[in-house]
Structure 1
């Protein structure tokens, strides 16, 4: 029998990014004993890489902004496949979550009259992103981390125990969720340094594990983003929705190769940066979709005038939603008008002075100077699309963030529905805060209704430990996890990337299933003590499962919408109006089914013109 360390809590939060920490703050504030389990070091979650800001309709820069406009922008950005209730809650509650952060100690940039400053971002009608230079995610994590520490200090003063009701377990990976009679009963994992196994006994689990980007070759995502939460939820019996929608951020670094994919914040364009091709043309004017014609400038003169008149609603086309900008860049490169290294040029030096650039965009200035020997105060950046965010995730109930598995909750990027087919920049950070809090409240209410705590049989815990050790006992035809991971990334990049074709994705599915078969023979050497090869072998099972969901859903959706672009089905198809795809596990494989979105309330429908709604809704759902 393998030795297993055990801990008892009311709630286990898996992930210590913005969503996980906000959920933990909420459950601890409700009096619940809470464990936060994070894969990396506390304070190093991928949220720190978010640069542009937190979208919230506070109206500090333009008083005409309000939650209804934010809701409308979010629905338009997601091409109306958003869960409208999630989008409504998000738009209504985001300002309170930002002001709350300020009470925790966050230091936002200010307007001249002392209010929290807000900047422009793609897809947002008004300046809406509360920011801290271009390091907003770092400030968000720093603030929530300090709040966690302050709550632990309160516990020390009250109980004489620094971690009485809230403890962080860092460098710990969860490999399985444990259940009893269909209900969550805890989680099983291991310490990354020692390889020792650990069981967390708890009747509620909040998934806050982020995204899936490490399944792709070119990505802005950190090493942690291996789809752990998505896969854990699937195996526990939850469903995933909208997995075909993967956002390729339009501007990642393209040179040198060692930094390809590293994010170039949308703040550069929000603060006046323009995109040009190798011929010097500001090409985005050629890619404004018909539905956005009224809101975006169609000439350089009009676009330049907008910077001096932010009350104008004719924004520069560089501020179109991310999916539109990414496809435009991809088209320019494909047609031979790209930069030397396969991207386009992003220039902010012609708009802002060197002093303003270093003040507003300090991280970008440092990043390009140190990594690419480019001074963005004097020369343009080379940028191109990079896998950035998955709109799909665990299907949850909007108000409580609970999945269809009793006791299992999800918030942040691992949860699906909020962003529809395409996320607007800045909505991710407010999403973390709004639904992190709601997941914490949902878990609290769930526990209040429990008559007894579920308990897992000892044999199931032993089985979880045995499954985790399989890579140390390979059979014939041993496979190297690093080689298999590289093959997976190449398949997803080449066949399920920014532009897709049905035939190629069918090939991808065949390759993915073959990789899944080979992954049963993954082999690692040595023992469990700090063994990166073993870590990757376990992560690969998650990446392969989630990649199959992405490809399987993408094959079925025979249209182009948001983050899903089909070369063989280039337009939106009326048949797919209001239809989302749901992935679940069935008989050992991924099953994809169609389901219709719940009808939107009339008061929310009235925020849009009927002509616009006709493009996205079935006739029987129109007012």
Structure 2
């Protein structure tokens, strides 16, 4: 939100605000934030606070349905953490941070057993073990699940555990700026979304667990008020670096619907979980051809997400798409009872729309789903700014060029535990926000927000919001090209000029919230396009029509830093995996889809 002062101006006396002193402030109440808080509490840290933009337990985690990875070996005892790490590196096209990958893979069997002990209602085998299913590009059945509502069940379990530990929580608070001198974190400022009161959090440490940036696209699997790039934008504005922002995962199977039908249109782009394909769902084009036989005869519908998404896009582009611009996903060859048991939420969703998933196919097409990039952090989750941490989808490093399905929930649990334990080692206490930062950063920002509220203008906030999404889908979407990316950057610059001319309601209004989101989205969107322009190759989820090959010289990460008011591009090298993981890579484990048949 750094450009607000230029756009909106600062006027009047500083508004009143409430100061809250807290040792550790956790921004984000999904799985990553909850698991961090649990770890802190279990290790005796009491001076912490979790804040969220929504009511308690209402976070994007609940929309992660298919499962969570961990090498338990329920069905495939030869699986282990090294193979999980190898699959993750393969899927990430070897620009992942290998230390972070291995940290997640090593932890996950224990994290899954821990959830089980805390009462998570996992689906189970006949002998009572945690069941595991196939997921795309995984060598073995490694994805533990609770029907097709894994994220919801997992977050409910974490929230209940946090409540048992009396973890303090405050809901309906939006953070709009972090207070730093670019070297150390001092606090954060924001507002109470119910009352409009301004808040200053004086902290010893901040954990950003605020989600990703997939909703900067107009077709996405999130709700419109989440994954707008809050976390990366807040960190970047504070002086932290971003990395891998060009890598946006377009999930193959978002709902493709009749946009003129009000009942269906609200579901456009929403995820049809990979679990449907993991349980045997098949993809067909409008000609009735099972087209993945042409693109990936061995792994079929369970090839990597980027491979399946581009295959679907090609089928549509070449005229073999369905009436609503998608392809068909069909699991009707399975028994209805099986579908109701293994995919209950999907079955219920489509039943509510008059479609029986057990008897007819549904239309799907790629949708923006996950940002592999985010904030640069070390192995404890800390940024280059002392006391500022980023975890979950806000951080970069684990997923590389493409995320392995089932690894997003795994990352939240693993790094929530790692970061919580690291913070607990020397329990942060509230410091004192230096007077110059209080004046130049906090008070001036409150004036910016105050000026933004009730701003009159010629542009609707939602029109500007949607312009960003449309520009990103057109110029930074599934298929990219240099000249188009340049046009996208020009469009973002023009959209930014409209910020000070938007018509915005009072601070408790939805238009004010979305105006703040517009600022976050512009930062994240520019970082995506600048990084995409720099990477002159195709790798994983980043596909350039003008550079279709993968270039060995680009086996490195693209980083974005602030410099002279603009985004400066730099690169960093990737580290090699450990000997044991390299051995797993050399062994060449690979999923064979036909094991399902």
TM-score (norm 2): 0.92
- 2:109 corresponds in structure 1 to 95
**Secondary structure at 1:243 match in 2:** coil
CA contact 2:69–2:144 (8 Å) conserved in 1: yes
- 2:6 corresponds in structure 1 to none
**Secondary structure at 1:455 match in 2:** coil
- 2:329 corresponds in structure 1 to 346
**Secondary structure at 1:520 match in 2:** helix
> Would you say 1:465 and 2:473 are equivalent positions?
no
Q: Deviations over 1:68-103 (max 9, x none)?
A: 111111000001111001111111101111111111
CA contact 2:242–2:560 (8 Å) conserved in 1: yes
> Would you say 1:384 and 2:365 are equivalent positions?
yes
Q: Deviations over 1:23-54 (max 9, x none)?
A: 01112222221110101111010100111111
> Would you say 1:328 and 2:311 are equivalent positions?
yes
- 1:309 corresponds in structure 2 to none
Pairing 1:57-96 to 2, within 5 Å after superposition: 57-96=71-110
- 1:20 corresponds in structure 2 to 33
CA contact 2:460–2:503 (8 Å) conserved in 1: yes
- 1:269 corresponds in structure 2 to 277
CA contact 1:75–1:84 (8 Å) conserved in 2: yes
Which of 357, 364, 367 aligns to 2:346? It is 364
**Secondary structure at 2:459 match in 1:** coil
Measure how far apart 1:473 and its partner are.
Answer: 6.8
- 2:530 corresponds in structure 1 to 552
Q: 2: CA distance between counterparts of 1:505 and 1:417?
A: 24
Q: Deviations over 1:129-166 (max 9, x none)?
A: 111100000110100110111011xxxxxxxxxxxxx3
User: Structure 1 465/432 Cα, relative in aligned 2: closer, same or farther at 3 Å?
Assistant: same
Which of 226, 231, 246 aligns to 1:224? It is 226
Pairing 1:113-512 to 2, within 5 Å after superposition: 113-152=127-166, 166-179=167-180, 182-222=183-223, 223-257=225-259, 258=265, 259-288=267-296, 297=298, 316-350=299-333, 352-371=334-353, 373-398=354-379, 400-445=380-425, 447=427, 453-457=431-435, 458-459=438-439, 460-472=441-453, 474=455, 478-512=458-492
Measure how far apart 1:487 and its partner are.
Answer: 0.9
Measure how far apart 1:474 and its partner are.
Answer: 4.9
Q: Deviations over 1:180-236 (max 9, x none)?
A: 572111111101111111111111000001111221100001222111111010011
Measure how far apart 1:610 and its partner are.
Answer: 9.8
**Secondary structure at 2:95 match in 1:** coil
**Secondary structure at 1:607 match in 2:** helix
CA contact 1:583–1:590 (8 Å) conserved in 2: yes
Q: 2: CA distance between counterparts of 1:378 and 1:364?
A: 13
Measure how far apart 1:611 and its partner are.
Answer: 10
Q: Deviations over 1:441-490 (max 9, x none)?
A: 22233546x8x834242423211211222323758x64331111111111
CA contact 1:407–1:446 (8 Å) conserved in 2: no
Q: 1: CA distance between counterparts of 2:102 and 2:583?
A: 14
The alignment covers a number of residue pairs equal to 565
Q: 1: CA distance between counterparts of 2:425 and 2:188?
A: 20
Q: 1: CA distance between counterparts of 2:423 and 2:235?
A: 16
- 1:11 corresponds in structure 2 to 24
Q: RMSD between aligned alpha carbons? A: 1.8
User: Structure 1 610/594 Cα, relative in aligned 2: closer, same or farther at 3 Å?
Assistant: farther
CA contact 2:183–2:384 (8 Å) conserved in 1: no
> Would you say 1:567 and 2:545 are equivalent positions?
yes
CA contact 1:178–1:184 (8 Å) conserved in 2: yes
> Would you say 1:600 and 2:573 are equivalent positions?
no
- 1:524 corresponds in structure 2 to 504
CA contact 2:252–2:365 (8 Å) conserved in 1: yes
Q: 1: CA distance between counterparts of 2:314 and 2:181?
A: 51
User: Structure 1 119/176 Cα, relative in aligned 2: closer, same or farther at 3 Å?
Assistant: same
Measure how far apart 1:368 and its partner are.
Answer: 1.4
User: Structure 1 584/447 Cα, relative in aligned 2: closer, same or farther at 3 Å?
Assistant: farther
Higher RCO (CA < 8 A, seq sep 6+):
2
CA contact 1:220–1:387 (8 Å) conserved in 2: yes
**Secondary structure at 1:176 match in 2:** strand
Q: 2: CA distance between counterparts of 1:386 and 1:604?
A: 32
Q: 2: CA distance between counterparts of 1:340 and 1:531?
A: 38
**Secondary structure at 1:244 match in 2:** coil
> Would you say 1:514 and 2:494 are equivalent positions?
yes
Q: Deviations over 1:552-585 (max 9, x none)?
A: 00011011111111111112112212x1100112
Q: 2: CA distance between counterparts of 1:611 and 1:76?
A: 10
List runs of 5+ in structure 2 lacking aligned partners.
1-13, 260-264, 590-597
**Secondary structure at 1:185 match in 2:** strand
List runs of 5+ in structure 1 lacking aligned partners.
153-165, 289-295, 298-315, 613-623
Measure how far apart 1:440 and its partner are.
Answer: 1.3
CA contact 1:278–1:337 (8 Å) conserved in 2: yes
**Secondary structure at 1:328 match in 2:** helix
**Secondary structure at 1:226 match in 2:** coil
Q: 1: CA distance between counterparts of 2:281 and 2:400?
A: 27
CA contact 1:49–1:138 (8 Å) conserved in 2: yes
Q: 2: CA distance between counterparts of 1:78 and 1:208?
A: 22
